[in-house]
Amino acid sequence: MSTRIATVRLLAALALLAPVTACSVFQGRQDVAEYAEDSVITNTIRARLVDDPVVNFGDVSVTTMNGIVTLGGVVDSSTEAARASQIARGVDGVKAVNNNIAVRRR
């Protein structure tokens, strides 16, 4: 019984540690200030996508690394994909946008 509890605790600790070790700050790719700036960019884009009548926010993912935004997901039209990219480019601090959004086939 105690082995089972120890195993569960170990798995829980690993599950909690995984996001921290995956963080770009801990991997040495960014300092804390850059990470904070990227978080502001990402959250600003997400907020604008939520408010936009063209883009279905739930279909688009947004990540930012050193001011470079990557959009992903699958949307219903090329207009929607282009609008998401336009929104991202309009946010202060964005250096470039990689639009990896795919359009669903009908």
Residue 90's domain is classified under what CATH number?
3.30.1340.30
Are both 81 and 95 inside the same structural domain? yes
Are both 54 and 88 inside the same structural domain? yes
Query: pTM of this prediction?
Result: 0.72
Residue 97 has pLDDT above 80, yes or no: yes
Neighbours of 55 (CB within 10 A): 26
What is the residue type of 51? Answer: D
Residue 33 is predicted with a pLDDT of 82
What is the residue type of 4? Answer: R
Evaluate whether 96 touches 67 at the Cβ level (below 8 Å). Answer: yes
Q: Which residues contact 97 (CB under 8 A, 6 or more apart)?
A: 68, 69, 70, 71, 85, 88, 89
Give 40-50 pLDDT, tens digit per residue.
999 999 999 99
pLDDT, mean of residues 43-62: 93
- DSSP H helical ranges for the chain: 2-22, 32-51, 78-89
Residue 56 has pLDDT above 80, yes or no: yes
Give 4-33 pLDDT, tens digit per residue.
776 766 556 545 544 544 455 545 566 778
Domain holding 53, by residue range, is 31-103
Are both 89 and 49 inside the same structural domain? yes
pLDDT, mean of residues 55-59: 89
